[in-house]
């Protein structure tokens, strides 16, 4: 009986999430590509640790054309924003999804590997260059003076070792980042910073509006309203 109830609950969740996906796609499909839309709930539910919703979103992402390696890249990147536990759980969930699809005869595309990282520069050197390009200015400040270690880790590892990998575009990486941050409470300053970074890297205000529409469909009113308020403040500061 308990297994039957769990099965019915799972079917209900799948039906609800599929309906939500269709609703989110209707308007945002003209603004964001199917792949870009699919990244949003994957990143959001990885960050929040909602494994059942993540399973459904990973299935939808594969069906939308994202490769296994592209999705692994999203899940790995998120450890820098949501922590290793969420990232590792996300990867374990993805393995479960792939095993289930394989048992159903679905052959998902592995996709290409990343190009080799530069050998003529250190991770810190090309990471600093990437960070400056992403943000538009050299990053300095009291926080990084207070903790030079975190400044080095951000530059060398996040913006170097991770962002230099070209399996995903910077636009896709920023969509994953803002989706994750939007679904984590108490990080509005970082969300605002990455809205700015997104607009520095070919994500338009219209695409951010579509992003929030998808976020609302999957994560609910409270999460999307908060993200919209942060975005409004960022856009107002540019006027």
Q: Looking at the domain assignment, is residue 120 inside a domain?
A: no
Residue ranges of the chain with pLDDT lower than 70? 1-29
* Maximum Cα–Cα distance across the chain: 62
Q: Looking at the domain assignment, is residue 151 inside a domain?
A: no
Q: Looking at the domain assignment, is residue 116 inside a domain?
A: no
Structure tokens at 200: 């520095």
pLDDT at residue 14 in the model: 53
Q: Looking at the domain assignment, is residue 216 inside a domain?
A: yes
pLDDT at residue 9 in the model: 52
- SS3 for the chain is CHHHHHHHHHHHHHHHHHHHHHHHHHHHCCCCCHHHHHHHHHHHHHHHCCHHHHHHHHHHHHHCCCCHHHHHHHHHHCHHHHCHHHHHHHHHHHHHHHHHHHHCCCCCCCCCCCCCCCCCCCHHHHHHHHHHHHHCCCCCCHHHHHCHHHHHHHHHHHHHHHCCCCCCCHHHHHHHHHHHHHCCCCCHHHHHHHHHHHHHCCCCHHHHHHHHHHHHHHHCHHHHHHHHHHHHHHHHHCC
Place of tokens 């003076």: 145
Q: Looking at the domain assignment, is residue 59 inside a domain?
A: yes
pLDDT at residue 29 in the model: 57
Range of the domain at 188: 2-105+166-237
Q: d(Cα 196, Cα 104) in Å, to the nearest integer?
A: 42
Q: Looking at the domain assignment, is residue 192 inside a domain?
A: yes
Place of tokens 């080799």: 116
Q: d(Cα 173, Cα 21) in Å, to the nearest integer?
A: 21
Q: Looking at the domain assignment, is residue 114 inside a domain?
A: no
Q: Looking at the domain assignment, is residue 118 inside a domain?
A: no
Distance of CA 71 to the CA centre of its chain: 10
- Per the structure, how many domains does the chain have? 1
pLDDT at residue 91 in the model: 99
Q: d(Cα 56, Cα 27) in Å, to the nearest integer?
A: 21
Q: What is the CATH number of the domain that holds 35?
A: 1.20.1290.10
pLDDT at residue 116 in the model: 96
Distance of CA 60 to the CA centre of its chain: 15
pLDDT at residue 239 in the model: 82
pLDDT at residue 118 in the model: 93
């Amino acid at each position: 009986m308990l297994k039957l109830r769990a099965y019915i609950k799972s079917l209900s969740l799948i039906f609800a999430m599929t309906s939500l996906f269709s609703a989110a796609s209707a308007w945002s499909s003209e603004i964001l590509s199917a792949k870009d839309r699919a990244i949003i709930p994957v990143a959001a539910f990885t960050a929040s640790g909602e494994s059942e919703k993540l399973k459904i979103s990973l299935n939808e992402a594969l069906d939308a054309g994202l490769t296994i390696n592209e999705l692994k890249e999203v899940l790995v990147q998120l450890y820098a924003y949501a922590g290793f536990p969420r990232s590792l759980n996300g990867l374990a969930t993805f393995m479960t999804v792939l095993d289930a699809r394989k048992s159903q005869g679905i052959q998902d595309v592995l996709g290409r590997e990343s190009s080799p990282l530069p050998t003529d520069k250190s991770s810190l050197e090309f990471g600093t260059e990437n960070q400056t390009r992403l943000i538009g200015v050299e990053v300095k400040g009291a926080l990084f003076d207070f903790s030079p270690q975190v400044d080095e880790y951000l530059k060398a590892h996040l913006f170097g070792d991770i962002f230099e990998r070209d399996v995903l575009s910077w636009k896709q990486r920023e969509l994953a980042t803002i989706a994750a941050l939007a679904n984590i409470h108490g990080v509005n300053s970082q969300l605002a910073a990455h809205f700015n970074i997104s607009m520095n890297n070919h994500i338009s205000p219209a695409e951010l509006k579509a992003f929030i529409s998808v976020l609302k469909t999957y994560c609910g009113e409270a999460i999307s309203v908060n993200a919209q308020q942060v975005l409004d403040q960022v856009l107002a500061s540019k006027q």
